[in-house]
Amino acid sequence: MADAPLAIGIDIGGTKVAGGVVDAAGRVLARTRRDTPHRSTSPRVVEDTIVSVVEELLAGTDRAILAVGIGAAGFVAADRATVVFAPHLSWRNEPLRESLGSRVALPIFVDNDANAAVWAEHRFGAGRGETHLVMVNLGTGIGGGVVLDGRVIRGRYGIAGEFGHMQVVPDGIRCECGNRGCWEQYASGNALVREAQALMSAGSPVVSDLFDRVGGRPEDLTGPLVTEAARDGDPLARELLSEIGRWLGIGIADLAAALDPGTFVIGGGVSAAGDLLLGPAREAFRRQLTGRGYRPEAAIVAAELGNEAGLVGAADLARTDALAG
218 plus 267 within the same structural domain: yes
HSE-CB for 80 with a 13 A CA cutoff: 21
**Structural domain that includes position 51:** 6-122+307-324
- pLDDT at residue 38, rounded to an integer: 58
In one-letter notation, the amino acid at residue 221 is L
pLDDT reading at 1 higher than 60: no
Conformation bin of residue 68: beta by default, left when phi > 0, alpha when psi is -120 to 50: beta
- pLDDT at residue 103, rounded to an integer: 94
- pLDDT at residue 84, rounded to an integer: 92
Environment class of 78 (CB within 10 Å of its CB; exposed 0-12, middle 13-18, buried 19+): middle
Q: Are 264 and 298 in contact (CB under 8 A)?
A: yes
Q: Cβ atoms within 10 A of the Cβ of 216, count?
A: 9
**pLDDT band at residue 40 using 50, 70 and 90 as cut-offs:** low
141 plus 227 within the same structural domain: yes
313 plus 190 within the same structural domain: no
- CA pair distance 54, 49, nearest whole angstrom: 9
152 plus 295 within the same structural domain: yes
- CA pair distance 78, 84, nearest whole angstrom: 10
Q: Give the distance, in angstroms, between the CA of residue 44 and the centroid of all CA atoms in the same chain.
A: 24
180 plus 54 within the same structural domain: no
Mean pLDDT across 1-14: 83
Nearest to 119 by CA among 323, 317, 301: 317
- pLDDT at residue 73, rounded to an integer: 85
138 plus 231 within the same structural domain: yes
pLDDT reading at 247 higher than 60: yes
pLDDT tens by residue, 64-96: 999 999 999 889 998 899 999 887 777 899 999
Q: What percent of the chain has pLDDT over 90?
A: 80
pLDDT reading at 318 higher than 70: yes
For the entire predicted model, the pTM comes to 0.93
CATH number of the domain enclosing 134: 3.30.420.40
Mean pLDDT across 134-153: 94
- CA pair distance 9, 12, nearest whole angstrom: 10
109 plus 140 within the same structural domain: no
Nearest to 19 by CA among 310, 325, 318: 310
In one-letter notation, the amino acid at residue 24 is A
Residue 231 is assigned to a structural domain of this protein: yes
Residue 197 is assigned to a structural domain of this protein: yes
177 plus 146 within the same structural domain: yes
- CA pair distance 153, 145, nearest whole angstrom: 8
- pLDDT at residue 319, rounded to an integer: 96
**Into how many domains does the chain fold?**
2
63 plus 86 within the same structural domain: yes
Residue 1 is assigned to a structural domain of this protein: no
238 plus 312 within the same structural domain: no
pLDDT tens by residue, 149-194: 999 999 999 999 999 999 999 999 999 889 999 999 999 999 999 9
278 plus 317 within the same structural domain: no
318 plus 184 within the same structural domain: no
